[in-house]
A and B are shown apart, each in its own frame.
Chain A
Amino acid sequence: MAKTSSRDRMSNEINAGSMADIAFLLLIFFLVTTTIAEDKGILVKLPPWSDEEPDITQLKTRNVYSVLVNAQNKLLVRGEEMDLDDLKDKTVEFISNPYNREDLAEAPNKAIISLKNDRGTSYGTYLEVYNELKAAYYQLWDELSRQKFGIPYSDEMPIAQQKVIKGEIPFVISEAEPTSFGEE
Chain B
Amino acid sequence: MSKFQKKRGKAKPAISTASLPDIIFMLLFFFMVVTVLRDAELKVKVTTPYATELTKLEEKSLVNYLYIGRPEAKYQSVYGTRPRMQLGDAFATVDDIPLFLEKHKVKVPENKRARITSSLRVDGEVTMGIVQDVKIKLRKSGQLKVNYSAKKRPQ
Q: Check B148–A119 contact: CB distance below 8 A.
A: no
**Cα distance, A134 to B53, chains bound together (Å):** 7
Is the Cβ of B139 less than 8 Å from the Cβ of A47? yes
| B64–chain A nearest beta-carbon distance, Å | 12
A44 touches B148 (CB 8 A): yes
Are A127 and B51 in contact, with the CB atoms below 8 A? Answer: yes
Give the residues in chain A near B34, CB-CB below 8 Å: 36-37
Residues of A within 8 A of B75 (CB): none
Q: Which chain A residues lie closer than 8 Å to B38 at the CB level?
A: 35
The segment out of A25-33, A53-61, A102-110 that lies at the interface is A25-33
Query: Quick check: B124 and A127 within 8 Å, CB to CB?
Result: yes
Also in contact, A42 and B148, with CB within 8 A (given A36-B34, A128-B49): yes
Chain B, range 15-30, C-beta contacts under 8 Å to A: 17-18, 20-21, 24-25, 27-28
A119 touching B18, Cβ below 8 Å: no
Q: Within B139-153, which residues are at the interface with A (CB < 8 Å)? A: 139-140, 142, 144-152
Q: Are A119 and B129 in contact (CB under 8 A)?
A: yes
Partner among B82, B124, B140, B149 whose Cβ is within 8 Å of the Cβ of A41: B149
Tell yes or no: A7 within 8 A of B by CB. no
Contact of A120 among B28, B52, B128 (CB under 8 A): B128
- When A27-B24, A34-B35, A46-B135 are in contact, do A40 and B125 touch as well, CB less than 8 Å? no
Residues in A whose Cβ lies below 8 Å from that of B128: 117-123, 126, 178
**Interface: B136 (CB within 8 A):** yes
With a cutoff of 8 Å between Cβ atoms, the chain A residues found around residue B36 in the complex are 34-35, 37
A20 vs B49: C-alpha distance when bound (angstroms): 41
Asked whether A40 and B56 contact (CB < 8 A) given A33-B37, A45-B145, A46-B135, the answer is yes
Q: Can you give 15 A-B contacts (C-beta < 8 A)?
A: A19-B21, A27-B24, A35-B38, A37-B35, A37-B36, A39-B147, A41-B119, A42-B54, A46-B145, A49-B140, A49-B142, A120-B129, A123-B123, A124-B125, A184-B83
